[in-house]
Amino acid sequence: MKNVKVSAALILILLLGATGCRSHVIKVNVTNTSSQAISNIVVDYPGATFGISSLTPGKTFLYAIKPYETGMIRIQFTNAAGAIHTYTGTKVKKGDQGTIDVVLTQDSVMPRAAFR
């Protein structure tokens, strides 16, 4: 009987730990849909920044972010001709979780966000 109580308590602790320790992150998928490389990609979000030196055609870079405050995401990149493009939009806030798919062409940024 004592072993059953200990086992039940251990299972309860493991279940609570597995469900209660979830980190709220946003998975960002940056994809180059153009026929040429894109470089110097910078993604600014509230509280931090990440960068990608170069993204070849058809490739996707995956990164998880965790905003620490509310604000807009800013994305900047350089196309194959050397022109710099900037996008500001897609509001995120502390505690958000989900995905942002960022599709890059040589001239534009097309984000699609899905938060839970």
Q: Where are the alpha helices (DSSP H) in the chain?
A: 2-20
The pLDDT value given to residue 116: 85
For residue 107, what are the contacts with CB-CB under 8 A and spacing of at least 6? 79, 83, 85
In a domain, 11, yes or no: no
CATH of the domain at 36: 2.60.40.2890
Residue range of the domain that includes 31:
24-115
In a domain, 97, yes or no: yes
For residue 68, what are the contacts with CB-CB under 8 A and spacing of at least 6? 46, 47, 48, 94
18-59 pLDDT, tens digit per residue, is: 555 567 899 999 999 999 999 999 999 999 999 999 999 999
Q: What is the pTM of this model?
A: 0.80
In DSSP terms, which residues pair with 88 in a beta bridge?
74
